[in-house]
Amino acid sequence: QVQLVESGGGLVQAGGSLRLSCAASGRFLNDVYFMGWFRQAPEAEREFVAAISASGGRTYYTDSVTGRFTISRDNAKNTMYLQMNSLKPEDTAVYYCAAGSNSNSYASTRGYDYWGQGTQVTVSS
């Protein structure tokens, strides 16, 4: 009922930057959600990256990306972004956009109800 579509992934050199986008449609047009980004490397568990409140007033980051990544949203465009700077090879993963009805578990996959299909980010050394 809520559709999330990521874009902006690709192959970049270590130290480079990428900007991921997540476009929302369906029920998202009628309801307000907190949103987040997760990533998953091959044979690894899905990992929390960043989250943002419904209004965009509060943001949260996992320690490994703090100071390098910035999460933001433009509710008028129903779009969320993840600006990734100073990328490292260990950032290589499939990145997923997610949306949830409350923010009690913003760093857990259980806090989210809807997920995008994922976009591949590969950082070469």
Q: What's the CA gap between 64 and 34, in Å, rounded?
A: 21
pLDDT score at 67? 98
Q: What's the CA gap between 16 and 86, in Å, rounded?
A: 5
In tens digits, the chain (125 residues) has pLDDT values of: 889 999 999 999 999 999 999 999 987 766 778 999 999 999 999 999 999 999 899 999 999 999 999 999 998 899 999 999 999 999 999 999 999 987 779 999 999 999 999 999 999 99
